[in-house]
Structure 1
Amino acid sequence: MSPDGLPPLREVIARYELAPRKSLGQNFLLDLNLTGKVARAAGDLTGATVIEVGPGPGGLTRALLMGGAAKVIAVERDERCLAALAEISAHYPGRLETVSGDALTTDFAALAAGHERVLIVANLPYNIGTELLVGWLTAEPWPPFYESMTLMFQREVAERIVAAPGSGAYGRLGVLAGWRTQARIAFDVPPQAFTPPPKVTSSVVHLAPRPEPLPTDARRLARVTQSAFGQRRKMLRQSLKPLGGEALLEKAGIDPTRRAETLSVAEFVALTAALDG
């Protein structure tokens, strides 16, 4: 038996025949010490409602419940995992709600409605992690429905999220995360911690929303950054041509010969304001 009185995860996977599926981006984290570390990286869970995406056999789910979360709302697309999650639910009566469905079409704000403190904590499926993050970063209204996000990504993606202007990893994700949150890498997780082991190291990123980010339209900012970094080797007057090019840059007071990775978040906000006009 594990510390929480439930069967070991390997046993659960064997019993319910939960071989991870590549098509679903599944890499199960089986080490309960590590899932506990992820849960602790989220901060104080006492009394909180935690939204988890892609719980799989429930390793992180169990750590969150053991860590004191009042409730976990787990969104799982793979119906094979529902029986294993039901076993956890029976062990923690009234504290685990499983939503069977696709995270990309889930209304997370609706799931959070009526809950006082909401945290998002997840070992995200690799194939949808970035898309989900962008959705949460551009959520309206702001401050958002969540108090913080603690998410696992491939190390390369994590570095892009926390990247500063001027660095090679700085791009659209760094601008959006830097604009609305304070993001930091909490720790790395080696490939051998997963089943199956991915080819890359993973990292847990903690993102705390800024209560008052620079005012701008999130969708327009996303559009400007997408265009600017779409041709990152080119000068901005070229990469931003579809949005107004040199005239747009002059209106924002930005040298048209600069490249996207040299612009600060504030300058991207200024560009977006110029686009608005």
Structure 2
Amino acid sequence: MASHIPRKRFGQHFLSDGAIIDAIVRGISPRPGQAMVEIGPGLAALTQPLVERVGRLTVIELDRDLAARLRKHPHLDVVESDVLKVDFASLVVPGAAPGSKLRVVGNLPYNISSPILFHLLGFAGLVEDQHFMLQKEVIDRMVGSPATSDYGRLSVMLQWRYEMENILFVPPESFDPPPRVDSAVVRMVPRARPADVDVGLLEELVQVAFSQRRKLLRHSLGKWLDARDFSGAFDLQRRAEEVPVEQYVALTQALGPTSTVASAQ
């Protein structure tokens, strides 16, 4: 499979560093019978050690040439699709123990990593954990703390639903071809009892709040709240990055019914 030419339109950078691959597998700690799903297996650098430990692996691959090669492996179940179109609630993982939650892993295409993360957010209740290779800058934003430049929309939306940690730094030379950025691996574990919230409303609120992150919230979120006749207490004399996740969640709960978190379970 090493003869495959990486395709820029798919954002393909294939992991080739054996020591890094071993470190990722140790971090994931796969076990026989688990419902393991890999996004973007590529040249199977991570796929092979995973399937050796799990026994059977479901992989999602968009590149038809790679999908055809992966189908030759007797212990892989290949879903040839854009991951953004995959319904993880209907995904069947052969060989997994009945009732198993999904363990999702992958070296995500850096050009669409955020859309993939938001797509998976809707299936968080079906997931045991997620381990993803991403651009380090993206992971810094995912785990960012309030009052820092990394803290933003991605931080709020994902921290509401997941416990996350950066578990491994991956330099560019670990890939073929090397990307122009540093990479890292993030562990994402869905919260057992996430705050009950209208996800669409939270997303809209946070997007408005961070639309003018250098200005005080009264210039952005204040107008948005006025349009909804909000009369509750919320300090708008702050910038968006100064507001903790739980306060965005509480404001969303104060604005409307808290029913749609169930769709993410």
Q: TM-score, normalised by structure 2?
A: 0.88
Deviation at 1:115, TM superposition (A): 5.3
- CA distance, structure 2, for counterparts of residue 165 and residue 148 of structure 1: 24
Deviation at 1:138, TM superposition (A): 3.8
Deviation at 1:248, TM superposition (A): 6.5
In structure 1, the partner of 2:262 is none
- CA distance, structure 2, for counterparts of residue 224 and residue 40 of structure 1: 38
Q: What is the SS of the residue equivalent to 2:189?
A: strand
Relative contact order (alpha carbons < 8 A, sep ≥ 6): 1 or 2 greater? 2
Q: What is the SS of the residue equivalent to 1:144?
A: helix
Aligned residues: 253
Matches within 5 A, 1:8-19: 12-14=1-3, 18-19=4-5
Contact kept in structure 1, 2:30 and 2:50, CA below 8 Å:
no
The 3 A distance-change label for structure 1 pair 234 and 108 is same
Matches within 5 A, 1:126-145: 126-139=110-123, 144-145=125-126
Deviation at 1:245, TM superposition (A): 4.4
Q: Which amino acid aligns with 1:23?
A: R
Deviation at 1:137, TM superposition (A): 2.3
In structure 2, the partner of 1:5 is none
**Structure 1 unaligned regions, length at least 5:** 1-11
Deviation at 1:220, TM superposition (A): 1.3
**CA RMSD of superposed structures (Å):** 2.0
- CA distance, structure 1, for counterparts of residue 101 and residue 181 of structure 2: 33
172, 182, 185: which one pairs with 2:163?
A: 182
In structure 1, the partner of 2:11 is 25
Contact kept in structure 2, 1:13 and 1:57, CA below 8 Å:
yes
Matches within 5 A, 1:43-192: 43-66=29-52, 68-87=53-72, 89-90=73-74, 95-112=75-92, 116-139=100-123, 144-192=125-173
Q: What is the SS of the residue equivalent to 2:150?
A: coil
**Structure 2 unaligned regions, length at least 5:** 258-265
In structure 1, the partner of 2:27 is 41
The 3 A distance-change label for structure 1 pair 144 and 247 is closer
Deviation at 1:149, TM superposition (A): 0.4
Dislocated runs of 4+, deviation >6 Å: 246-249
| Farther-moved stretch of structure 1 (22-31 vs 110-119) | 110-119
Deviation at 1:208, TM superposition (A): 0.8
The 3 A distance-change label for structure 1 pair 156 and 245 is farther
Q: Residues 149-186 of structure 1: CA distance to partner in whole angstroms, max 9, x if unpaired?
A: 00111000000011111111001111122111110000
Q: Residues 181-215 of structure 1: CA distance to partner in whole angstroms, max 9, x if unpaired?
A: 11000011100111110011101000111100122
- CA distance, structure 2, for counterparts of residue 180 and residue 209 of structure 1: 6
In structure 2, the partner of 1:273 is 253
Matches within 5 A, 1:223-242: 223-241=204-222
- CA distance, structure 2, for counterparts of residue 158 and residue 235 of structure 1: 26
| Farther-moved stretch of structure 1 (35-44 vs 55-64) | 35-44
Deviation at 1:117, TM superposition (A): 3.5
Q: What is the SS of the residue equivalent to 2:169?
A: strand
| Farther-moved stretch of structure 1 (72-81 vs 267-276) | 267-276
In structure 2, the partner of 1:221 is 202
